[in-house]
Chains A and B, each alone.
Chain A
Amino acid sequence: MKDLFFKNSISLRIFSFLLIIVIWEVAALLVQSRVLPSPLVVFEIFWRELFFGEMLYHLGITLWRVVIAFFIAMIVGTGLGIVMGARKNVNLILDGWHILLLNTPALVTIILCYVWFGLNEVAAVTAVALNKIPNVVVTVREGTRAVDTKLLQVAEVFKLSYKKKFLNFFFPQLYPYIMASARGGIALIWKIVLVVELLGRSNGIGFKLNEFFNLFDIASIFAYTLAFVTVMMFVEFCIALPIERRIMKWRQT
C-alpha cells in the first residue's frame, strides 16, 4: 500500500504540495511575525479578495496583458527566427541588433518604452514583448537551421505548391522549437508583466503588489501571488500541455 502511494506520480505531487504548506505553517508559528503570515491568514485574504474584493479585476487585466504580449512575441519572434535561420545575409544584418536586445536588461526596455511611448497600454505590452522576442528568435533560428532538407526535396520533386511545402513540410519541423520557446515564454512574460505594471500602470497584479508593499501588507502580497501562480499553473497544465501533446502525438509512439 505504501509502495503504491509513492509510485503514483499524482499522489507524490499532492504530497509535495502538502509538505510545503506544513513547512510554511510551522515556520510561521515559530517566527510569529507580520512578515511571514500563516497559510490560514493568507487563504482567508485570498478568499475575501476573490469574492468580495478587486482580485478578479486585476487578475483579468494582468492575464490579458500576458496573452497579448505572448502572442506578439511568439509571432514576431518566429517570423524573424525563420528568416534569420534561412537567410544568411539577413542574419548578418540583424544579428548585432538581436544580441544587443538579448542583453538589454528588462528594466531598461520597460523604462525606455514608457519614456518614448508614454504611460499607456501600448508601451506596456511592447516592453514585455520586446523582452521575449530575442529568446524566441534564438530557439526558432536554431530550429530553422536544423530543418531536414531531404523532406523539403520531397515537396520539390512532387512539384507541390510553395504554400504546401511551407505549411506541411517545413513548418511542422519547427513545432518542437516553437513549443519549447512558448513554454519558457509564458513563465518569463508574466514575471515581466508584473514589473511593467509596478512601474507604470494603475491596475493589474503588479500594481496591487506595489500598493501592498507600501502598506507593508505582506499577507495580501502572498494572497495575490498565490492567485496568479494558480492561474499560470492552470494555463500550463490545462492549456499548454494538452496542446503540446496533441501536436507531438506522432512522437509518443
Chain B
Amino acid sequence: MNTDSISKSKYHLNVKVDNKDYKDIKTESILTAIKNMNFKVLEGQFCCLLGPSGCGKTTLLNILSGLDNNYEGNIEFDDGSTLKNSSVGYMFQEPRLLPWLTVKENVEIVTQQTKQEKELSSSILENMGLLKNMESFPSQLSGGMQRRVAIARAFVNKPKILLLDEPFISLDITAANLLRSMLINMWLQQKTTIIFVTHDIREAIYLGDRILFLSKGPSKVIYDYKVNLKRPREMENKDIENLRNELMQDHPSIITGVGEKIL
C-alpha cells in the first residue's frame, strides 16, 4: 500500500512552519507553539500526526486550513498551488453541523449545489448508512451519526487535502471503530490526501500509512514512522497491539515525549 502510493504520487504537500507564536491569555506572555516543523505529505497518503494534548496540533491544523494566517513559514503543494486556492476538507473535534439544516442540506451546503454534487452527497450519505436520515435534523441523531454526516461533508468536495482534528474522541469504542472503518472506506474510494491529528497511538497505527510523532510545545516532528501493516486492518487485533509495544520498546523517549495520554 505504502510503496504503491509513493510510486504513483504526482504531487506532495510541503509543510514548513518556522515559527508560530501565541499569547498566553493568563500571563500575557508570548509563547512559541510550533518551531521548525517540516514535513511532506504525499498525494493519497494517510498521514497521522501524533502528539500530546496541548502540543499545538490544533494550531497546526488551523494554519493548514487557512483559519490562522499569522505564522512564519510556507505551505504549498509542489505543483505550485497553495492551500488557499485548493479545496480543503476539515473535520473538527465536534461535528459542527448546522442545527437548522437537514442532514442532506448540511452536506450540500459546502458544495456549489449543482445536480451532480447533490447526487454525490446523497450517495456518500447512503454509503455512510444515513439513507433513512436524509431529512432528519442533527438534533435527532446520535453523536456517532452526527459525525458520519461530518465525514460526508468533509469528503463531498473531493478535497485536495483533508484535515481531521481528533474527530472520534468522546465516542464509545464501538461507535468510534465503526467510524474509523467508514473513514478508511471513503479514503480508499476517493484516494484523498489526509492529515489526521490524534493522541491515540492505536488509532494512528490502525488508520495511517505513516505516523509523525510531535514533541511537546514548541512542537516539531521528532520521528517519522512508516506503518507496515497490510490493509484491511482490524482495530481489535494483535498486530496493532504488537506494533504499539514494539514502538514503545524501541523508542521510549519518543513515546514519553508524546505524553501520558497515549494508551
Chain A residues proximal to chain B, CB less than 8 Å: 150-151, 153-154, 156-160, 164, 168-169, 172, 175, 249-251, 253
Contact = CB atoms under 8 A, between A and B. Distances in A.
A168 B98 CA distance: 9
Contacts of B67: 153, 156-157
Which of A156, A158, A168, A249 is packed against the most chain B CB atoms within 10 Å?
Answer: A158
B113 to A, nearest CB: 10
Given A157-B67, A158-B89, A168-B101, 4 more contacts: A150-B94, A157-B88, A249-B137, A253-B137
B98 A172 contact: yes
A153 B98 CA distance: 12
B157 interface: yes
Which of B65, B87, B110, B157 is packed against the most chain A CB atoms within 10 Å?
Answer: B110
B90 interface: yes
B66 A250 contact: no
Contacts of A159: 66, 87-88
B139 A250 contact: yes
B96 A154 contact: yes
A146 to B, nearest CB: 14
Interface string B224-246: 00000000000000000000000
B100 A250 contact: yes
A157 B92 CA distance: 10
10 shortest A-B CB distances, which residue pairs? A157-B90, A158-B110, A250-B137, A157-B65, A172-B100, A250-B100, A253-B140, A253-B139, A154-B96, A250-B99
B109 interface: yes
Nearest to A164: B109
A150 B87 contact: no
Interface string B131-172: 000000111100000000000000001000001000000000
Which of B89, B90, B157, B163 is packed against the most chain A CB atoms within 10 Å?
Answer: B90
Interface of B: 65-67, 87-90, 92, 94, 96, 98-101, 109-110, 137-140, 157, 163
A249 to B, nearest CB: 8
B57 to A, nearest CB: 16
A160 B137 CA distance: 22
A168 B109 contact: yes
Contacts of B66: 156-157, 159
B117 to A, nearest CB: 13
A158 B86 CA distance: 10
A253 B110 CA distance: 24
Which of B88, B98, B101 is packed against the most chain A CB atoms within 10 Å?
Answer: B98
Contacts of B94: 150
Nearest to B136: A253
A245 to B, nearest CB: 13
A73 B100 CA distance: 26
13 contacts: A150-B94, A153-B67, A153-B92, A154-B90, A154-B96, A157-B90, A158-B157, A160-B110, A168-B101, A168-B109, A172-B100, A175-B100, A250-B101
Contacts of A154: 90, 92, 96, 98, 110
